[in-house]
Structure 1
Amino acid sequence: MVNDARHAPGARGASVKDVAASAGVSLGTVSNVLNRPDRVSAATRERVERAMAELGFVRNESARALRAGQSRTLAYVMLDASNPFFTDVAQGIEHAAEASDLSLFICNSDNRTIREEKHLAHLQQQRVAGILITPVDPEAAHLDAIARHGTPVVIVDRIRHDESFCSVAVDDVLGGRLAVEHLVDRGHTRVAFVGGPLSIGQVHDRYEGARAAWTDAGLPEDDLVVVPTEALTVAEGRSAGERLAGIPTMRRPTGAFCANDLLALGLLQQSIGAGRRVSEDLAIVGYDDIEFAAAAAVPLTSVRQPRQLLGKMAAELVLDEASNQAHAHQQVTFTPELVARASTQR
């Protein structure tokens, strides 16, 4: 075994030159073992591989990607890492990446444009094979700039007004409609929409669907009460519950549609803690149908999105764009499904 202080822990990694010297071969032979092993005899290849193992040699894939112009890596820039919806989407992407022998970088923009732009710049420098992104703004000019530089981009859980990118999303307007129609069908004539900011595309679309269903039911506009939130979190859901509790009983909504499940779980938690009965005093509908929804103290009715399928389809589209010269952009829209549970039973 080679005993060289140059390769002690904390020292620089072994180089191709070190491997060649240890194996007694040329640099070209080591390069062939790494990139064209069929050109090297079995005995020589075994000697080089043994030297690599003894020296702790690790292939520099970043440098190789720069030379080749592309890496064996996809990247997903998610909007909010604290939301299980996006981690489920990432899992779907990971499954597709693994099937193609690719790795996956995961970045979190935290719903901040500046952070998103920095991630995208770094990913371009890494020459990733493709970028999947749930953007802060799907119309942002920096997305067009990435595509112009030749990196395939697929928009996830959002849509653009043009067809210049592939996109994979769910019909959130329909999802909002399904949630409110469900509450109306159960006799609720005063309903709260809990969510925000409305500048988030998904929140806006879900509210538009809710409002359309309310109007179609012929109910007074003022009886669909908007309870705005600063974020889509459990804490904001609890805060919304406190505000709802402060509305006079005669005007207080008996049903609530929350823009995502985290808000709904926070509202449910606050309601139970305050002694209100779910769903007798307040029926609650969430959105996304994350795993925690069915496991809540009162199982949560929710609008289901095919989270992992969203990710898998998006990854397949970005891989097709990266490898298929005849690739045509597609805008894939999935249909949401309402899953009724105890939080809306009467």
Structure 2
Amino acid sequence: MTVSVKDVAAAASVSVGTVSNVLNRPEKVSPEVVARVTRAINELGFVRNDAARQLRAGRSRSIGLVVLDVSNPFFADVARGAENQAAESGLTVLVGNSDENGERERAYLELFREQRVNGVLITPTDDELAGLRTLRNAGIPVVLVDRDGGDEFFSVTVDDVEGGSLAAAHLLESGRRRLLFLAGPLGVPQVAERLEGARRAVAEYPDATLEIVEMPALTVLQGRAAGEQLVARPAGDRPDAVFAANDLLAVGVLQAFTLLSQVRVPEDIALIGYDDIDFAAATVVPLSSIRQPARLLGATAVDLLLSQSGGTSAGSAPQHVRFQPELVVRASSGGTN
């Protein structure tokens, strides 16, 4: 049987209004009455109906977060940062995994709109932003995470062009000249920007080359497949350095090289990834990487969302926060462990 507010009021010998005050405005009720009502709630097993309360308020206590790949530790850290920051304002974060699929992304956006969330944080799958405009026009603020919002949306990003340049320049400065950029889908803006940075760095060295290998996903499995393809090449046809578009790809490459025991890292091929996920330092050969402040991205996105107070007002320019990446050198590119 469902326990109602009336049941709690009867058990505590108070009015329904007093129970409501205890639940929503306890400072208006004496400590003795709060204790009595709380005791009745616990004894009866009462659970408040937040859905009804949200309908009355017109907005929930939740924030929607849509990421490209929830299994990627980078996005897990973004979510952690967002959750911690949201909790300080009494909000929770509902996480949706688009899996780089536009249809799934749109389904989550519609769900969040129906639930009247306080706002949406999202790393979009592509440049089709119609669903985000629908949310904004409905008064639900939107913040793009790890993606520039341009003239339309608030955003928090890391300078991926600079990150790509840092990675390639590090390999070139260590004497490598035959670089390979291992990409996920080049339609992903972050991947394309990292490639642009790498191209800029390589252009500074007339004797350097940059090969591009595009894989269908930014996963360990795809990295391993790419690594196996490199091992299958004649030794003279291999690059002397690999810049992977993220750490998961780099870990997969390292696994292939290690398991097949035909390529030494970094002696034969230097390797660097991107994101500096937690276990990058713990791989069999500690992985050099480009560090992004993932948790800070999530926390800052929540701050930008809350600053909008119900949406961007007419004529106001969206705010953009851009962090700088950091080169982390470990053994996989010739540094120390």
| TM-score tier after normalising by the smaller chain length | over 0.9
Amino acid at match of 2:62: T
Give yes or no for the alignment of 1:244 onto 2:230. yes
Deviation at 1:191, TM superposition (A): 1.1
**Secondary structure, in 3 states, of the residue corresponding to 1:287?**
coil
1:19 match: 8
Native 8 Å contact 2:139 2:311 kept in 1: no
Native 8 Å contact 1:29 1:40 kept in 2: yes
Cα separation, partners in 2 of 1:41 and 1:340, compared to 1, 3 Å = closer
Give yes or no for the alignment of 1:75 onto 2:64. yes
- The C-alpha deviation readout for 1:39-76, integer Å capped at 9, x for no partner, is 44444443332221111111111211111011222221
* Alignment counterpart, residue 286 of structure 1, candidates 273, 279, 283: 273
1:345 match: 334
Deviation at 1:262, TM superposition (A): 0.4
Residue pairs, 1:108-257, within 5 angstroms: 108-160=97-149, 162-219=150-207, 223-257=209-243
Please say which of residues 18-27 and 94-103 is displaced more in the overlay: 18-27
Native 8 Å contact 2:126 2:187 kept in 1: no
Amino acid at match of 1:341: R
Native 8 Å contact 1:130 1:322 kept in 2: no
Give ranges in structure 2 of 5+ residues lacking alignment: none
- The C-alpha deviation readout for 1:221-269, integer Å capped at 9, x for no partner, is xx31112211111111111011112223222101000000000011011
| Count of residue correspondences | 332
Query: Percent of aligned positions with the same letter in both sequences?
Result: 52
- The C-alpha deviation readout for 1:176-207, integer Å capped at 9, x for no partner, is 11111111111111111111210111111111
2:255 match: 269
Q: Distance in 2 between matches of 1:109 and 1:247?
A: 35
Q: Distance in 2 between matches of 1:148 and 1:323?
A: 10
**Secondary structure, in 3 states, of the residue corresponding to 1:159?**
coil
1:10 match: none
TM-score, length of structure 1 as denominator length = 0.91
Give yes or no for the alignment of 1:321 onto 2:300. no
Q: Distance in 2 between matches of 1:83 and 1:309?
A: 17
**Secondary structure, in 3 states, of the residue corresponding to 1:288?**
coil
Q: Distance in 1 between matches of 2:195 and 2:312?
A: 40
Give ranges in structure 1 of 5+ residues lacking alignment: 1-5, 7-12
Amino acid at match of 2:233: I
* Alignment counterpart, residue 52 of structure 1, candidates 21, 27, 41: 41
TM-score, length of structure 2 as denominator length = 0.93
Residue pairs, 1:83-122, within 5 angstroms: 83-122=72-111
Deviation at 1:149, TM superposition (A): 0.4
